[in-house]
Amino acid sequence: MTQEEIKKLVGQVAADYVNTQVPEGATIGVGTGSTVNYFIDALSKKRDRYRGAISSSIATTYHLISHKFQVFELGSLESLPIYVDGADEINPHGAMIKGGGGALTREKIIAAEADIFVCIADKSKLVPVLGKFPLPIEVIPMARIALARRITRLTTGIPMLRLMHNGKPFITDNGNEILDIYNLVIEDPIMLERSLNQWPGVVTIGLFSMLSANLCLLGTKYGVQRIDYEKNHLSLL
Ligand code: 5RP
């Protein structure tokens, strides 16, 4: 199987999981990325089972609408039974680096509201220690240079402004910029997330350690493996 075929299979297995675990008429939280797009494709076969979706990005909203899902504002919901999203890295405890697609802030907001976070990924994303994938941080543009200097001074990290193909800064759906931090070895994700969260000008850290996954559907060339995590981090928020 190619990596694309594995992602497609994970998307299908995630849709099967949601179709069997989530009651009819529910609204589903939907992340961003190529694996999530396969999930949306697969879920659309049972679209009428659902009231609609909460979307984590403009790109996902377009994809949902192309499959005729109704997209709702997060604030219109009393509760969200499930959130399904990809990851750039996931460690053995379900902590993740996210934000490769630049949607980390809305992803984290939705993850915080969901009863269950289901991570969907291929096996290349499973790592013993987070940090090989550069850690995205969404920042207020005014603070970007000061934050980059602070990161260089206080961590081993090497911050790089995320650029688009045309050389201009990547701008998030919220109008901010992203610093990608290379060269981190994240032995204690909760401590790092907590500490970076305090820095003025930081909007969101792409570390999901306090809002880690409840379970991961991990695609391999032999099929999809389900990993359940013990979740005790929420009280830390
Ligand atoms: C977007 C994300 C994505 O979930 C992450 O980048 C994984 O994407 P893909 O499924 O395309 O590998 O965090 O901000």
Q: What is the CATH number of the domain that holds 158?
A: 3.30.70.260
The rounded distance, in Å, linking the Cα atoms of 72 and 220 is 33
Read off the DSSP letter of residue 203: E
| Structural contact between residues 97 and 130, judged by C-beta atoms closer than 8 angstroms | yes
CATH number, domain with residue 221: 3.40.50.1360
> Is there a single domain that holds both residue 10 and residue 94?
yes
Q: Count structural domains, the chain.
A: 2
Read off the DSSP letter of residue 199: S
> Is there a single domain that holds both residue 29 and residue 74?
yes
- Mean pLDDT, residues 226-231 taken together: 90
CA 130 to centroid of ligand 1, rounded, Å: 15
Is the CB of 34 inside a 6 Å radius of any atom of ligand 1? yes
Rg of the Cα atoms in the chain: 17
Q: Which residue spans within 3-149 are E strands per DSSP?
A: 27-30, 52-55, 71-72, 80-85, 89-90, 96-97, 114-122, 135-139
> Is there a single domain that holds both residue 122 and residue 172?
no
- Given 107, 138, 177, 193, which residue is catalytic? 107
pLDDT at 237 over 70: no
| Structural contact between residues 24 and 49, judged by C-beta atoms closer than 8 angstroms | yes
> Is there a single domain that holds both residue 46 and residue 106?
yes
Is the CB of 52 inside a 6 Å radius of any atom of ligand 1? no
> Is there a single domain that holds both residue 61 and residue 154?
no
Q: Mind listing the pLDDT tens digit for each residue in 40-93?
A: 999 999 999 999 999 999 999 999 999 999 999 999 999 999 999 999 999 999
Q: Where are the alpha helices (DSSP H) in 67-121?
A: 104-113
* pTM (2 d.p.): 0.96
> Is there a single domain that holds both residue 180 and residue 69?
no
CA 19 to centroid of ligand 1, rounded, Å: 22
Q: On the CB side of 33, how many CA atoms lie within 13 Å of its CA?
A: 26
| Confidence label for 232 from pLDDT (cuts 50, 70 and 90) | low
| Structural contact between residues 205 and 137, judged by C-beta atoms closer than 8 angstroms | yes
Nearest CA to ligand 1 atom 5: 87
Pairing type for strands 223-228 and 215-220 reads: antiparallel
> Is there a single domain that holds both residue 163 and residue 187?
yes
CA 150 to centroid of ligand 1, rounded, Å: 27
The rounded distance, in Å, linking the Cα atoms of 158 and 180 is 8
> Is there a single domain that holds both residue 99 and residue 161?
no
- Quick one: which atom of ligand 1 is closest to the CA of 99? 14
Known binding residue 35? Answer is yes
Known binding residue 14? Answer is no
230 catalytic per annotation: no
The rounded distance, in Å, linking the Cα atoms of 18 and 37 is 15
Is the CB of 103 inside a 6 Å radius of any atom of ligand 1? yes
> Is there a single domain that holds both residue 65 and residue 178?
no
> Is there a single domain that holds both residue 101 and residue 155?
no
Length of the chain: 237
Sheet (strand 71-72) strand order: 71-72, 52-55, 27-30, 80-85, 114-122, 215-220, 223-228
> Is there a single domain that holds both residue 61 and residue 123?
yes
- Quick one: which atom of ligand 1 is closest to the CA of 85? 4
> Is there a single domain that holds both residue 74 and residue 164?
no
The pair of structure tokens assigned to 151 is 């990161």
Nearest CA to ligand 1 atom 8: 33
Of the listed ranges 18-27, 106-115, 226-235, the least confidently predicted one is 226-235
For residue 105, the enclosing domain spans 3-127+210-236
